[in-house]
Chain A
Amino acid sequence: MSNLYRQIQARMGKTFVLLPPYLWMFLFFLLPFGFVLKISFSESIIASPPFAALFEYDADEGILNAVFRLFNYQYLIEDSLYFKAYLGSFKVASISTVICLLIGYPFALAIARSPKAQQPLLLLALMLPFWTSLLIRVYAWIGILRQDGVLNNILLWVGVIDEPLLLLQTTFATYVGVVYAYLPFMVLPLYATLEKQDLTLLEASRDLGSSPIRSFFDITLPLSLAGIISGSMLVFIPVIGEFVIPTLLSGESTLMIGRVLWTEFFNNRDWPVASAVAIIMLAVLIIPIIIFQNQQAKQEG
């Protein structure tokens, strides 16, 4: 009797613990996503809200009519702007991820191999920029990159260049901004895996005849694959939809999907097309997100 009671109690306890995250995901992800999905099958009209209803109840017939319009998606396929924008986002995200990895790996390795007592301080330094708003930090880059900015002045003064370089309003500026802003997201998961690595493995590989560099490629690097994937996903996924950095630093010169979305939504007030853009972006991102999730599960298992 008391056993059964305890079982019920245990099951209820489990449900209770799991309920809040599920509720949260339902309210703040699934429900809004449903709205966006619904709107993407709608038609833009001049009204408030600016899209046609999907479901209409016919009181005379007593039936519910639903009209799913696919032309928003058709439009995205037909107008090459969208494909180019997706491709642009993909390119910026991929290249930024690789650069972040190349810069971030030595960073993470250096922190993970420094004395234990120093590590919290180094991590704090890494995260210090987060204490300032991203917007302000991006504006600071404008000050550095513009034609009469800090960087050009230094280069002119040193004599490397004769006239100021055009850095702002180029795709280069987006890379600078994105790599700068997302580097910590690469370093942290890398640090987490590298810090856990058993250093006697490196001694073992030295003992068996490997040079330090060889040991790095044979042992350290493959064993940090989980961190590399996590870090890359944490950079790649948000950069795909990045809006603020390319808009402020590159303006018109870099076409990314985040800006297209913004334009459709706020300038053209075409919510259905904007929704369709968002849905396709999500569909494309699902693949790397699944890889990321798998990796996480493997790491924990």
Chain B
Amino acid sequence: MMNSGTQSDFIRIENIVKKFGEVTAVNNISLNIHQGEVFCLLGGSGSGKSTLLRMLAGFDDPTEGRVIIDGDDISGKPPERLPVNMMFQSYALFPHMTVEKNIGYGLRRDGVSKAETKQRVDEILELVKLTPFASRKPSQLSGGQRQRVALARCIVKRPKVLMLDEPLGALDKKLREETQQELLKIQRDLGLTFIVVTHDQEEAMTMADRIGIMDMGQIVQVGPPRELYENPNSMFIADFVGSLNKFKGVVQGQEGDITVVRLSEEVSLKIHTGFEHNTGDEVMLTTRPEKLEIFAADSDAKPTTQNIVDGTVAFVSYMGEQTNYSVDLGGGVIVRIAEQNHHMSTKVSIAAGDKVKVAWPARASHLFSA
């Protein structure tokens, strides 16, 4: 099949399996990655995401299956012969070489002439704003600068795919946001394909065009960030991405599109999931804290949601941009609510112990089988 260069299956991972002795680290993954997209492999430690990345970079050979990059089967080829570069989590800068030498290293190994190397290195230095640091050693750079050297060292080779292993993991929060934007700008400007591995769902959400969530060596769901967040296909995904309220409940009945779920003696909710559910089923009901709204019990506001539940504030924590409330709805049902703190907010007076009502839209929840 000679379909190189086509957009949607630039990288084809076909039924790939990796076993280390008895342990199956990657269990039959098939995946297509498009040219020019930022694809994020998101998973906890031991989920197999790093093993998958190492196979794509050529450091490990798959036990079964194959990987095709731009029409070429890369199985069995050593890393130095792949059109793929990796930005390591530790950056792996060569400590005995200057910034310039580090960046030029890959070009020299490819047999690019000294003059052309110099020119291309200078261009990239300009791009990552490191020109004044060209003759420094990595140990004389800050964390953010090192990260940019690591990036420059890869992109100077114009790889077909750039793998980034926890690219922002070693940076502090402020620097992360800046760096993230710089990374994406360079990615877009050069039209690179990024495969990012991370355990940080926030990083994945903000960077990725599509995310593949991995668990136990398999990809559990693939999709754009919004889809994963709003329509998780399993309890695992719902719980993994973002914060979540989860309750055990029993389906009480179906009224048209509305499913009634009882969480406790005191609390029953009307839920719209787009599916019908069997009465008597035990389910897990999930909802995101920011989908709910809190009002003081004596407030004049008339929320129009299908569910308005009475409760008592158990806990308030002020986070700056938002405030988190824990509200006891009775019968052991405690729900977390997150509200943005805009300057008009009348809710500043809500404190622990106050009686409140919680507006709970019917479409804000998902049901999973318990």
B94:A205 contact, CB within 8 angstroms: yes
Number of interface residues of B (CB under 8 A): 22
For B93, list chain A residues within 8 Å (CB): 204
Of B27-35, B84-92, B239-247, the stretch lying at the interface with chain A is: B84-92
B109:A208 contact, CB within 8 angstroms: yes
For A214, list chain B residues within 8 Å (CB): 109
Closest A residue by C-beta to B57? A207
Return the contact of A201 from the options B79, B86, B92 (Cβ within 8 A): B92
Return the contact of B95 from the options A208, A210, A218, A223 (Cβ within 8 A): A223
Kindly state the separation between the CA atoms of A204 and B59 in the bound complex, as whole angstroms: 10
Kindly state the separation between the CA atoms of A223 and B90 in the bound complex, as whole angstroms: 17
A208:B106 contact, CB within 8 angstroms: yes
A201:B78 contact, CB within 8 angstroms: no
A222:B79 contact, CB within 8 angstroms: no
B153:A208 contact, CB within 8 angstroms: yes
Return the contact of B78 from the options A198, A205, A206, A222 (Cβ within 8 A): A206
Quick one: which of B105-128 are within 8 Å of A by CB?
105-106, 109-110
For A211, list chain B residues within 8 Å (CB): 78, 80
B80:A207 contact, CB within 8 angstroms: yes
What does DSSP make chain A's interface, helix, strand, loop or mixed?
helix
A207:B96 contact, CB within 8 angstroms: no
Closest B residue by C-beta to A206? B79
Kindly state the separation between the CA atoms of A223 and B138 in the bound complex, as whole angstroms: 14
B157 proximal to A (CB < 8 A): yes
Closest B residue by C-beta to A214? B109
For B96, list chain A residues within 8 Å (CB): 222-223
Quick one: which of B68-103 are within 8 Å of A by CB?
78-80, 84-86, 88, 90, 92-96
Quick one: which of A199-244 are within 8 Å of B by CB?
200-201, 203-211, 214, 218-219, 222-223
Kindly state the separation between the CA atoms of A211 and B79 in the bound complex, as whole angstroms: 9
The bracket for how many chain A residues form the interface is 10 to 19
B106:A203 contact, CB within 8 angstroms: no
A205:B105 contact, CB within 8 angstroms: yes
A201:B94 contact, CB within 8 angstroms: yes
Return the contact of A200 from the options B80, B92, B105 (Cβ within 8 A): B92
A203-B59, A214-B109 known; A209 vs B80 contact (CB < 8 Å): yes
Closest B residue by C-beta to A199? B92
For A222, list chain B residues within 8 Å (CB): 96
Kindly state the separation between the CA atoms of A205 and B80 in the bound complex, as whole angstroms: 8
B33 to chain A, nearest CB (A): 19
For A201, list chain B residues within 8 Å (CB): 92, 94-95
Closest A residue by C-beta to B89? A200
A205-B105, A223-B95, A223-B96 known; A210 vs B80 contact (CB < 8 Å): yes
Closest A residue by C-beta to B111? A209
Closest B residue by C-beta to A215? B80
Kindly state the separation between the CA atoms of A189 and B31 in the bound complex, as whole angstroms: 48
For A209, list chain B residues within 8 Å (CB): 80, 106, 109-110, 157
Kindly state the separation between the CA atoms of A117 and B117 in the bound complex, as whole angstroms: 43
B153:A200 contact, CB within 8 angstroms: no
A198:B90 contact, CB within 8 angstroms: yes
Per-residue CB contact flags for chain A residues 58-90 toward chain B (1 = under 8 Å, else 0) read 000000000000000000000000000000000
Kindly state the separation between the CA atoms of A200 and B78 in the bound complex, as whole angstroms: 15
A8 to chain B, nearest CB (A): 38
Closest B residue by C-beta to A222? B96
For B57, list chain A residues within 8 Å (CB): 207
Closest B residue by C-beta to A202? B92
B79:A207 contact, CB within 8 angstroms: yes
B142 to chain A, nearest CB (A): 19
Kindly state the separation between the CA atoms of A113 and B93 in the bound complex, as whole angstroms: 21
B92:A203 contact, CB within 8 angstroms: yes
Q: Please indicate which of the listed interface residues B80, B85, B95 has the most CB atoms of chain A within 10 Å of its own CB.
A: B80
Kindly state the separation between the CA atoms of A206 and B86 in the bound complex, as whole angstroms: 10
Kindly state the separation between the CA atoms of A204 and B80 in the bound complex, as whole angstroms: 10
For A207, list chain B residues within 8 Å (CB): 57-59, 79-80, 84-86
For A204, list chain B residues within 8 Å (CB): 86, 88, 92-94
Kindly state the separation between the CA atoms of A6 and B59 in the bound complex, as whole angstroms: 56
For B153, list chain A residues within 8 Å (CB): 208
For A198, list chain B residues within 8 Å (CB): 90, 92
Per-residue CB contact flags for chain B residues 45-63 toward chain A (1 = under 8 Å, else 0) read 0000000000001110000
B87 to chain A, nearest CB (A): 9
Closest B residue by C-beta to A204? B92
Kindly state the separation between the CA atoms of A255 and B110 in the bound complex, as whole angstroms: 52
Quick one: which of B269-311 are within 8 Å of A by CB?
none
Closest B residue by C-beta to A208? B106
Quick one: which of A171-218 are within 8 Å of B by CB?
198, 200-201, 203-211, 214, 218
Known: A206-B78, A208-B85. 10 other contacts (CB 8 A): A200-B88, A200-B90, A203-B86, A206-B79, A207-B85, A208-B153, A211-B78, A211-B80, A218-B94, A219-B94
Please, could you name 16 A-B residue pairs with CB atoms under 8 Å apart, sorted by A? A198-B90, A198-B92, A200-B88, A200-B92, A201-B95, A203-B79, A204-B86, A206-B80, A207-B57, A207-B84, A207-B85, A209-B106, A209-B110, A218-B94, A219-B94, A223-B95
Residue numbers of B with Cβ under 8 A of A are: 57-59, 78-80, 84-86, 88, 90, 92-96, 105-106, 109-110, 153, 157
